[in-house]
């Protein structure tokens, strides 16, 4: 693959934020989905910078899901909700 990369999705659920830990950074994440596809445009805002990431989730096997992510620059996102 020339412009994207596959990765394995991992998710963790914490009962609460660990005690005595400071929040060192934060970012605002907005997801927009293209109707009728598995495509998502993720808009990430951090420290005044905006990054667009086009993502497609794919089932590789019953126990594995792959994620293809492509970083976009100067994208116009039409038709996304």
Task: Answer yes or no: are the C-beta atoms of 27 and 44 closer than 8 Å.
Answer: yes
pTM for the complete prediction? 0.60
Rounded Cα gap, residues 40 and 55, in angstroms: 5
Nearest to 57 by CA among 4, 6, 14: 6
Rounded Cα gap, residues 28 and 46, in angstroms: 7
Q: The tokens of 41 are what? A: 């445009």
pLDDT per residue over 2-60, tens digit each? 555 666 667 788 888 888 888 888 899 999 998 888 888 889 999 988 888 888 877 77
Task: Answer yes or no: are the C-beta atoms of 38 and 27 closer than 8 Å.
Answer: no
């Amino acid at each position: 693959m020339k412009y994207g990369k596959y990765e394995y999705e991992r998710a963790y659920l914490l009962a609460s934020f660990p005690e005595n830990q400071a929040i060192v950074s934060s970012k605002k994440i907005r997801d927009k989905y293209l109707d009728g596809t598995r495509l998502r445009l993720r808009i990430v805002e951090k420290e005044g910078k905006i990054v667009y990431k086009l993502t497609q989730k794919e089932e590789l096997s019953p126990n594995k899901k792959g994620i293809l992510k492509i970083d976009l620059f100067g994208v116009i996102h039409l038709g996304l909700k």
